[in-house]
Structure 1
Amino acid sequence: MEICTYFKSQPTWLLVLFALGSISILKFVFSLLRSFYIYFLRPGKNLRRYGSWAIVTGPTDGIGKAFAFQLAQKGLNLVLVARNPDKLNDVCDSIRSKYSNTQIKTVVMDFSGDIDEGVRRIKETIEGLEIGILINNAGMSYPYAKYFHEVDEDLLNNLIKINVEGTTKVTQAVLPNMLQRKRGAIINMGSGAAALIPSYPFYSVYAGAKTYVDQFTRCLHVEYKKSGIDVQCQVPLYVATKMTSIRRASFLVASPEGYAKAALRFVGYEARCTPYWPHALMGFVVSALPESVFESFNIKRCLQIRKKGLLKDSRKKE
């Protein structure tokens, strides 16, 4: 009764502020508990329910290679798509030596070359196979940070062709196979440069291409979710790969194996996700900062990367 009397004696504006503050706190606590469940308690889905075969593009190194091993471990057969036949054979041998029951087919495809011819070979290879999962991992970024006017024509064309055209056409080639069975999962690799970071200067074409991948994926998610197809854009930040030029993994930098293991637990859930929880934490911190603060920090960091890249180029010319 005393509490009720106390609240009745307070002005209306103070009660409104108290109510709004309580709602904000409850929303924050709910969000925190939900995130804890998603990242540490929620079980991954049985990937074999989608089908017995998985396609991975760009599987000869980094995240793509780690995906291939993780999928083989889970009992899926593989169709591996890459441009270098020797590296493809090396990956196949490595997977077979560890998972001898895994069936593997390969498709040689240069995403910077004749994509239509590569897509034709993919269609021929997967004919009659029960394709359950497609991981569009093939992609490229800048060799180092550059002003937009410094991006040469070859790099510009390849950034768009590999990241945009390649992802789009491979998806279009594989989707009918899934629709026939009304089951499938398509994973498109986005980037924190497009989804988590307000702006990504000096990597403008790469960020723009990955923004396309993000929106393309979210549209497909809505189009096909009633057809039994789960379409998802995964948004990593830093992973220790050749593309990022980061050599060692750390708390905020995932190893390819660590990222792939976390990523497969998210298949079949959200339309867009950041599977590696330290990356999600980093994204939350960035979103909480004023955009001007992060922008200033990011410009300085990118200019340092550009300086090192220019120095490396000058040494090559000597």
Structure 2
Amino acid sequence: MNMMAWFASLVVLGAVYVAALAFRLVRHLAVCFRGPKDIRRCYGTWATITGPTSGIGWSLAVELARSGLNLVLVGQDPAKLRDISQTICRAAPTVKTQDSSLGLSLLATAHSDEAMRRLRQTVEALDVGVLVNNAGVLEPCAVFLHEAGAEEWVDMRVNLLALTEVTAAVIPGMVDRGRGAVVNLGSASSEAIPSLPLYTMYAATKRYVARFSKSLHC
């Protein structure tokens, strides 16, 4: 009898597990096969993106614009911000852009207070429904922790503070409107790779991004 009860429990547990996997598979397939989502209707008419002047950030900014979202572009080089604004205007002529020059490596210092105040004023006046935290710093590259001086790690604060402060500036409007999406760019160095001794600080900051994102989602 005890064996039968034990076997029945295992059968029920296995059935629940298979049902959970099947539900996840069906949900994934539904996302894959449904039509494109109207981002503006789901989230809002504006997106804010950090680090949009090169690489992944540049591509994301252009794709968001092609999806019809107006963009608040946050970076520390005004000339490069103007360049990406012009690129977006050519790719999506009806899209509006606003440049917000912010020295991301100076966040949490007195030098960033005025720039952060301007950014908060900008996003408070707009229907910002999407935030993409793309800005990040990788250097110094391929060195052990003790091989670089402390001053060389200072710019790595961008990976932590830009993510945190810009999110804190943008998310109140999303909460008030009851809609919004925050996209944080992480790294396999914090999830898939057990350790990365030549990129210790980078992997550690990206682990923060992962935990921050999961906690924000909950």
TM-score, normalised via structure 1 length: 0.58
1:41 corresponds to which residue? 33
Please list the CA deviations of residues 247-288 of structure 1 after superposition, one character each: whole Å capped at 9, or x if unmatched.
xxxxxxxxxxxxxxxxxxxxxxxxxxxxxxxxxxxxxxxxxx
Q: How does 1:189-204 map to 2 (within 5 A)?
A: 189-204=185-200
User: Is the CA contact (8 Å cut-off) linking 1:115 and 1:166 kept in structure 2?
Assistant: no
Residues 1:125 and 1:207: Cα distance change in structure 2 (over 3 Å)? same
Letter in 2 for 1:96: C
Residues 1:87 and 1:157: Cα distance change in structure 2 (over 3 Å)? same
Please list the CA deviations of residues 50-82 of structure 1 after superposition, one character each: whole Å capped at 9, or x if unmatched.
110000000000111111111111111000011
Please list the CA deviations of residues 24-57 of structure 1 after superposition, one character each: whole Å capped at 9, or x if unmatched.
x968x85995697278435554321211000000
How much has 1:117 moved relative to structure 2?
Answer: 3.2
User: Is the CA contact (8 Å cut-off) linking 2:71 and 2:97 kept in structure 1?
Assistant: yes
Letter in 2 for 1:87: K
2:132 corresponds to which residue? 135
SS at match of 1:167: helix
Residues 1:40 and 1:97: Cα distance change in structure 2 (over 3 Å)? same
Identify which range, 200-209 or 119-128, moves more after superposition.
119-128
SS at match of 2:182: strand
User: Is the CA contact (8 Å cut-off) linking 1:64 and 1:137 kept in structure 2?
Assistant: yes
Instruction: Find the partner of 2:175 among 176, 179, 186.
Output: 179
1:149 corresponds to which residue? 146
Residues 1:194 and 1:129: Cα distance change in structure 2 (over 3 Å)? same
Letter in 2 for 1:133: V
Q: Does 1:97 align with 2:90?
A: yes
2:209 corresponds to which residue? 213
Q: Does 1:125 align with 2:118?
A: no
Please list the CA deviations of residues 158-202 of structure 1 after superposition, one character each: whole Å capped at 9, or x if unmatched.
11x201111111111111121221111111111111122222221
Q: How far apart, CA to CA, are the structure 1 residues paired with 2:36 and 2:90?
A: 26
- Identity of matched residues, %: 38
Q: CA RMSD in A?
A: 2.8
SS at match of 1:118: helix
Letter in 1 for 2:198: F
Letter in 2 for 1:193: S
Q: How far apart, CA to CA, are the structure 2 residues paired with 1:109 and 1:47?
A: 26
SS at match of 1:144: coil
1:112 corresponds to which residue? 105
Residues 1:143 and 1:38: Cα distance change in structure 2 (over 3 Å)? farther
For structure 2, the 5+ residue unaligned runs are none
SS at match of 2:105: coil
Instruction: Find the partner of 1:62 among 45, 49, 55.
Output: 55
SS at match of 1:133: strand
Between the two structures, name the one with larger relative contact order (CA 8 Å, sep ≥ 6). Answer: 2
Aligned length in residues: 207
Runs of 4+ in structure 1 over 6 Å off: none
